[in-house]
Amino acid sequence: MIAEKLLLPARGSWTAPRRIFGNAQRLLRTHAFRLAALYFLVFAVSVLSVLLFVYWTSADFVERQTEATLDAEITGLAEQYAQRGLSGLVQIVAARSAGDRGDGMLYLVTDPNGVPLAGNIAAWPAGVPAHGGRLSFTTTARVKEQVETHPAQGASFIIPGGYRLLVGRDISDATAFRNRVKITLLWAGLVALGVGLLGGTAMSRNLLRRVEQVNRTSERVMAGNLSDRVPLDGTSDEFDQLAANLNRMLDQIERLMTAMREVTDDVAHDLKTPLSRLRVRLELALLGPVDGSSQTEAIRSAIDEADRLLATFNALLSIAELESGTRRDESEALDLSEVARSAAELYEPVAEEKGFLLSLATEPGVRIRGSRHLLSQALANLLDNALKYAGGGEIQIRVLRGEDRAALEVTDRGHGIPEDERETVFDRFVRLERSRSTPGNGLGLSLVRAIMRRHRGTVELADNRPGLRVRLEFPELVT
């Protein structure tokens, strides 16, 4: 499967053997393969060492048991011999050899010529030296009417006078046990290695598949399909997180590009007019008499026009910057009332002069997280609007607290905005006043909305009966 995936990008011009070789090389280079191989290696080494340890401990245990039994038996016989001499030894051997005790003990006492005197072995086993010491030999045993040759272990002794003693133990059971363990462990090892191989492959395949998903998506995005996203499988593991992050990044890029396109369109459509107006003014100044005063006036108005254009440009750039989110976060914990108080204080004299009554009503301790600079600007835009369009009466700034939301309201007593136009006024360059007799660029509310989005808040227009109520809502900062 791994190789199959890697086959896909291969080009047909390759000859088959070269392709297989090339793919094998590429397979070796993939991270997934290396990971699988490493996984398998670690798995195999650990399984093998566990199995070897189990085998070694069990074999050693059986061997020790045999040794211990033999030692006990020899000690017992030596005590008998010390107390009762040779005859006592022969007697006890004869007694112990009688009947099948089922413990597999073997005894034999012979005279110096090797003629058996007592014991459960017929004759001194062939090939076993008669000089005493530890030894291994084979013995015959009758099992279910059949004579079998069993391995045995034991020790021989030369008793003074030339008599010989052989004490041994049939170790066929122990050997069988050891063989059984060996076979079991061998099978277990094979199964484990098989599982390891499968696990490694499955792991690498899964890994490769998910990397492949990311790769394909990024290729499609690069090919121009900007709205494509990496599929998530809902496990919220590292790969899901990676995919989610990539998707967020793509969202951001898409948003940036859309914002950029919008700004370009706006600039093309709405800045052309003032630019041509500027050009006409300068042209007229050039045509006019060279007496100075009218030319100075024309130049002055051209500068004003240029200033307005630049202000519009700056506002557009600020909006684009805010909407694309490229601006650095400068937010801090703020008391909304402070922001409102400061703006009210700045605007109060001008409002009074224009025949308004500017009032401030704040609930104490309404705190949010935000940028004082941006919020002051948003509030200033709303106050500018109210002063420009409401005509007179009361303008109120209110700071209040809703259900876990903080709100800042600016209300006036003017004509308000008709319901069907309350959404469009947020678009760039939209001005409801058809005559456009008051100065303004139609970007004030767009900027307010951009600032509110930046603060994860909302801006809503409502009827103040009569007048306009602009409500800015923020997530309240819980302290």
Partner 1 sequence: MKLLVVEDDHETALYLVKGLSESGYTVDRAGDGREGLFLASSGSYDAIVLDRMLPSMDGLAMLGALRAAGISTPALILSALGTVDDRVKGLRAGGDDYLVKPFAFSELLARLEALLRRGAVTAPTTKLRVADLELDLLTRTVRRRDKPIEVLPREFRLLEYLMRNAGHVVTRTMLLEHVWDYHFDPQTNVIDVHVSRLRQKIDKSFDSPLLHTVRGAGYCLRAPDSSAP
* 391 near partner 1, rule: CB under 8 A: no
Residues 421-440 touching partner 1, rule: CB under 8 A, are 439-440
Q: Which of 101, 269, 373, 456 binds partner 1 (CB under 8 A)?
A: 373
- 13: how many CB neighbours lie within 10 A of its CB? 7
CB of 234 to partner 1, least distance (A): 38
Q: How many residues bind partner 1 (CB under 8 A)?
A: 30
Q: Using DSSP, how many helices (H) and how many strands (E) does the chain show?
A: 10, 12
Residue 475, C-beta contacts closer than 8 angstroms, at least 6 positions apart: 368, 369, 404, 405, 406, 456, 457
Which one, 304 or 363, has the nearer CB to partner 1? 304
CB of 408 to partner 1, least distance (A): 17
Which one, 442 or 457, has the nearer CB to partner 1? 442
Ramachandran category for residue 431: left, alpha or beta (phi over 0 → left; psi -120 to 50 → alpha) = beta
Residues 315-334 touching partner 1, rule: CB under 8 A, are 318, 321, 327-328, 330
**DSSP letter string, 345-386:** HHHHHHHHHTTEEEEEEE-TT-EEEE-HHHHHHHHHHHHHHH
Q: Which of 213, 342, 359, 458 binds partner 1 (CB under 8 A)?
A: 342
* 249 near partner 1, rule: CB under 8 A: no
* 54 near partner 1, rule: CB under 8 A: no
Which one, 127 or 439, has the nearer CB to partner 1? 439
CB under 8 A: which stretch of 46-54, 205-213, 222-230, 377-385 binds partner 1? Answer: 377-385
Among 414, 404, 400, 413, which residue's Cα sits nearest to residue 340?
Answer: 400
CB under 8 A: which stretch of 74-82, 97-105, 345-353, 463-471 binds partner 1? Answer: 345-353
Q: Which of 112, 349, 402, 418 binds partner 1 (CB under 8 A)?
A: 349
Which one, 82 or 432, has the nearer CB to partner 1? 432
* 293 near partner 1, rule: CB under 8 A: no
CA distance 296 to 299: 5
Which one, 114 or 349, has the nearer CB to partner 1? 349
CB of 368 to partner 1, least distance (A): 18
Q: What Rg do the C-alpha atoms of the chain give, in angstroms?
A: 50
Which one, 342 or 458, has the nearer CB to partner 1? 342
CA distance 407 to 461: 13
* 229 near partner 1, rule: CB under 8 A: no
Q: Which of 171, 387, 448, 472 binds partner 1 (CB under 8 A)?
A: 387
Strand duo 468-475 + 405-411: pairing: antiparallel
CA distance 48 to 188: 10
Task: Work out whether the CA dihedral 69, 73, 76, 82 comes out positive or negative.
Answer: negative
* 282 near partner 1, rule: CB under 8 A: no
CB of 431 to partner 1, least distance (A): 13
CA distance 340 to 370: 13
Burial of 446 (0-12, 13-18, 19+ CB in 10 A): buried
Amino acid found at 366: V
Q: Which helix (H) or strand (E) holds 283?
A: helix 272-287
Contacting residues toward partner 1, per CB under 8 A: 307, 310-311, 314, 318, 321, 327-328, 330, 342, 345-347, 349-350, 352-353, 371, 373, 376-377, 380-381, 383-384, 387-388, 439-440, 444
